[in-house]
Structure 1
């Protein structure tokens, strides 16, 4: 994880780093490198980034939570990685190259409600740090 991301996440509480097996499985998902890089040092966590609250799911929870939320059925092409703790998830729009970050409600999940909020994971953290409480 680079220093810039560490600085943006300085008010976070994190778990231990992800296991090598889980990291290997994550690499196969072809997710953005800036996002994947965090798992070498931490594994999920939550806290404030500026005025915004962010919950990052643990590596081993990613596939499970995406399945349980039935993301592929309701919002195909979105891969959720966390939430704002208030009923909306954050995910990568895998239909775009590079993947943009979207915010989408858990209840009433549908692609039409997936709002682009950042051009990358790092950009999401930067926007959160500068936010006045709303990314939309």
Structure 2
């Protein structure tokens, strides 16, 4: 149902470099770009994530309670994406691990602009 998610940035070059490296862990690549935005996906027909300089020219800001969740295929990928984000300068918001008792395995971080990102998978309950 979701086609793409856009996050505001105040430094497009820096944000694009962060996501260029991060999305490699997800098997994604740049699929669109212009002077004010860059978008990444695994395929032009798959959901995408993008960063953009706000259209109104005002500074980008982080939404309180706003988060983007990236689905992956297992706990090892959750760990790898989280570690990559931190290595690229992202800030830890929750180490990889199970959340609750429903098989939800996740990690949380903030990108270089402070946007909150979750990477998660579902694991069978034992």
Query: With structure 2 as the length reference, what TM-score do the two structures score?
Result: 0.26
**Higher CA-based Rg:** 2
Query: With structure 1 as the length reference, what TM-score do the two structures score?
Result: 0.25
Which structure features the higher share of helix residues?
1
Which structure features the higher share of strand residues?
2
